[in-house]
Amino acid sequence: MKTILGYLRPHAPRVAAGVTVKFTAAVLELLLPLLLARIIDDCVPARDLPGVFRAGGLMLLMAFGAAFCNITANRMAAWVSMDMTRRLRRDLYRRTLLLSQAQLDRFSVSSIVSRLTNDTYNVHQMFDKIQRGGIRAPMLVLGGLALTFLQAPLLALVQLAVCSATFFAIWLVTRQGVPLYARAQEAVDTVVRILRENASGVRVIKALACQERERERFNAASRASREAEEAAGGVMAAANPLSDFLLNLGLVLVVLAGAALVNRGWMSSGQIVAFLSYFTIIQTATLGLAKLFVKFSKGVASARRIEEVLLAPEEQAARPAGEADLRGPELGMENASFSYLGVEKDLDGASFSLNKGETLGILGPTGAGKTTLVSLLLRLYDADGGVVWLGGRNVSTLSRESLRGLSGVVFQNEALLNDSVYENISFLRDLSREDAAAAAKTAQAWEFIENLPGGLDARLDIRGANLSGGQRQRLLIARALAAKPGILILDSADSALDYRTAAALHAAVRRDFPGVTLVVISERVASLRDADRILVLEDGAITAQGTHGELLESCGRYRRMAELQMGGSA
């Protein structure tokens, strides 16, 4: 909680002002029963009607003053909690962007979404309610107890015992509620994950008629979330009834004891009325605290989840470069290995090198390790062993900024923004429209872009739903080309393109970007045949590498794929 509390520090003056205003309101509320007692004990017996009006008018002014102070303080509390949450959500988002891919895998995207939305909302509610009721209620309880001790010490001891028992019961309930709410939030993560999967894969679900199965899967996750919330709510639900029972029991004891004291003449009628008024104030404040602790339990559980991300250690920081780290090929690996789960190697002993301006082709069946190899080149993950070279340097010595500036990449599944074609190509990089248009022409996308209503200004639907698969791929390739990268990586980027368009794309890239180092992952031998070096991967290992002609002679798997796809032209 220390990290989250730090977001209140810039608002300390406003919080202090709010506390002062709340304190003033509490003092005004606490003085009202004293004036009421004076009217009953002094003014009424003396038939002092002007005194009654004076005291009543003062009570009215104090009531309006307390209401005004409470409204003002609540507005200040709302502003502080909203601004604090805005800054917290902003920093959480920025920290999320700096997480390594391995850290994102550990947290999961659905959990990150839940922390950015649901958890920050719970923290907002916690701080808002604490500033509104967490200051006023204790003031009323403590002030009321102090004044009741001045009025009737014996009855005040009963009141103190009841309040102590009530707060102890609330503390016990809250102590169990925090971990239960943490589990409830984890269950929400699962619901969010299934929603994301269904939203992105809705076409596949409908095509395979899996609606009923997905509905059952969502219902199961929703049921688990409900049960976790019920478990937490069931525990926290005991707070209010316990508080009501203890406070009502205390009220009965106070009335009985007060009646006996008045009957013996040890207390006046005004004093017992004032005492009962204070008891009501304390009871209301205590019940407010019980409700506050429910928000507090949720907020603490959410704050801990947010802190896990904010305090996550920085991974993949660039280490100082030695002389040996600067003598590598433009692109390559030396005995590199990697495992996602640390059990079985997903890439084992990979070694190859490529000079600047050459083309690397990567071929292999699904699960062979093609995308893993590219992920290591981009340092989305760090190799468990060996060396990875990029731009002539050991990739572990490159900063995040220089690493991203070296390369342009198109992965198999990338999202398009619900924005204009230009913004999708520029992708928040403030590139010129001329560069965007030139990249689109190289990517063979200009033909369909200029036919869209508005051209570069045409707006795309969410995930580019108003484009075909091939159009989306060409737009993504244009995005990668627009910043004129030194290294261009295309991960199955031509899978939705016909052979003619794919061939035109590769020719255009070589024509318009003659110095670019190109990495192409493809299942099409025709897309790789002109590469300077082709890697054949199988089960996480490079089983063969060479030119198209060399692999036709030395690699049976490659030769069979070439013959199946290209026939005699292989």
Say how far residue 320 (Cα) sits from the centre of its chain: 32
Higher pLDDT, 325 or 424: 424
The reported pLDDT for the residue numbered 235 is: 75
- Domains located in the chain, CATH noted: 2-310 (1.20.1560.10), 323-569 (3.40.50.300)
The reported pLDDT for the residue numbered 207 is: 67
Residue-wise pLDDT tens digits, 269-297: 667 777 777 777 877 787 777 777 778 88
Q: pLDDT confidence of 88, banded at 50, 70, 90?
A: very high
Select from 114, 115, 111, 110 the least CA-distant residue to 197.
110
Residue-wise pLDDT tens digits, 498-536: 778 888 888 898 888 888 899 988 888 888 888 899 999
Instruction: Calculate what percentage of the chain has a pLDDT beyond 90.
Output: 12
Higher pLDDT, 296 or 444: 444
Q: pLDDT confidence of 28, banded at 50, 70, 90?
A: confident
For residue 552, pLDDT over 60 is answered with yes
The reported pLDDT for the residue numbered 310 is: 92
Higher pLDDT, 497 or 350: 350
> Based on the number of CB atoms within 10 Å of its own CB, is 271 exposed (0-12), middle (13-18) or buried (19 or more)?
buried
Least confident of 38-52, 55-69, 319-333: 38-52
Distance CA(213)–CA(258), nearest Å, equals 66
The reported pLDDT for the residue numbered 570 is: 54
The reported pLDDT for the residue numbered 290 is: 72
Residue 6 backbone zone (phi > 0: left; psi -120 to 50: alpha; other: beta): alpha
Most confident stretch, 183-187, 232-236, 413-417, 502-506: 502-506
The reported pLDDT for the residue numbered 413 is: 67
Distance CA(378)–CA(403), nearest Å, equals 7
The reported pLDDT for the residue numbered 269 is: 67
Element (H, E) at 68: helix 49-98
What's the mean pLDDT in 356-364?
89
Beta bridge partners of 420: 459
What's the mean pLDDT in 258-263?
72
CB of 290 closer than 8 Å to CB of 245: no
For residue 266, pLDDT over 80 is answered with no
Residue-wise pLDDT tens digits, 184-231: 877 887 887 787 777 766 766 766 677 788 888 888 888 888 888 888
What's the mean pLDDT in 383-411?
85
Average pLDDT along the chain:
83
> Long-range contact list for 252-259, CB < 8 A, 24+ apart?
253/158, 253/162, 254/155, 254/158, 254/159, 254/279, 257/154, 257/155, 257/158, 258/152, 258/155
What's the mean pLDDT in 228-241?
75
For residue 459, pLDDT over 80 is answered with yes
CB of 318 closer than 8 Å to CB of 201: no
**In the structure encoding, which two tokens stand for residue 421, read together?**
């074609």
Most confident stretch, 156-160, 415-419, 448-452: 448-452
Element (H, E) at 93: helix 49-98
Residue-wise pLDDT tens digits, 107-125: 888 888 888 988 998 899 8
Q: pLDDT confidence of 337, banded at 50, 70, 90?
A: very high
Q: How many residues are present in the chain?
A: 570
Distance CA(524)–CA(508), nearest Å, equals 18
**In the structure encoding, which two tokens stand for residue 83, read together?**
């601004």
Least confident of 10-24, 323-337, 491-505: 491-505
The reported pLDDT for the residue numbered 568 is: 56
The reported pLDDT for the residue numbered 307 is: 92
For residue 264, pLDDT over 80 is answered with no
Distance CA(358)–CA(329), nearest Å, equals 11
Select from 231, 274, 269, 272 the least CA-distant residue to 255.
272
The reported pLDDT for the residue numbered 569 is: 55
Select from 531, 548, 445 the least CA-distant residue to 488.
531
The reported pLDDT for the residue numbered 208 is: 66
pTM value is 0.73
3-state secondary structure of 328: coil
Distance CA(158)–CA(143), nearest Å, equals 16
Least confident of 149-158, 386-395, 468-477, 486-495: 149-158
HSE-CB at 65 with a 13 A cutoff on CA atoms is: 17
Higher pLDDT, 356 or 141: 356
Residue ranges in 209-268 assigned as alpha helix (H): 211-236, 239-263
